[in-house]
């Protein structure tokens, strides 16, 4: 009679039997002829590789990302700051010229005329 848990190695084969049963034609685990070494090697390699890869990748990525990010951020920030400063200076300069300067240019003849009228009145 077929009993799925005949030993500790059969347990993992039973776990494989349920999700992958259709791949193996619904045969019992002991007849599937799976390589236990390949299964355990893949499982351990996946876990250890994932853990070590994640730790090393995270550490190296964090260090390199911080250093490169700081350098790039400083360079880009400086360039953007200079460009924005020039644009703001240009717009503010034009605004002041057209509001204050143009008003003075238009009012200057009136001020000179008023000065002449006041001289004539005062004496």
The more confident residue out of 103 and 86 is 86
For the cut 80, the answer to whether the pLDDT of residue 75 exceeds it is yes
Domain regions of the chain by residue span: 35-122
Residue 91's pLDDT is: 87
pTM over 0.85: no
Query: What six digits make up the tokens of 110?
Result: 């009136």
Q: Collapse the DSSP code of 46 into the 3-class scheme (helix H, G, I; strand E, B; otherwise coil) and give the result.
A: helix
Per-position b or e across 80-118, b if 16+ CB within 10 A of its CB = eeeeeeeeeeeeeeeeeeeeeeeeeeeeeeeeeeeeeee
Please list, in sequence order, all residues whose beta carbon lies within 8 angstroms of the beta carbon of residue 82, skipping any fewer than 6 positions away: none
Q: Are 28 and 4 in contact (CB under 8 A)?
A: yes
CA distance 52 to 29: 32
């Amino acid at each position: 009679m077929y009993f799925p848990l005949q030993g500790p190695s059969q347990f993992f084969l039973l776990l494989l039997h349920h999700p992958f049963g259709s791949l193996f034609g619904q045969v019992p685990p002991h007849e599937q002829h799976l390589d236990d070494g390949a299964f355990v090697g893949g499982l351990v390699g996946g876990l250890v590789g994932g853990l070590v890869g994640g730790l090393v990748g995270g550490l190296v990525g964090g260090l390199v990302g911080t250093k490169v990010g700081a350098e790039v951020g400083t360079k880009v920030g400086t360039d953007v700051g200079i460009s924005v400063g020039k644009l703001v200076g240009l717009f503010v300069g034009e605004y002041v010229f057209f509001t204050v300067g143009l008003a003075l240019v238009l009012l200057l003849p009136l001020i000179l005329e008023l000065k002449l009228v006041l001289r004539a009145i005062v004496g």
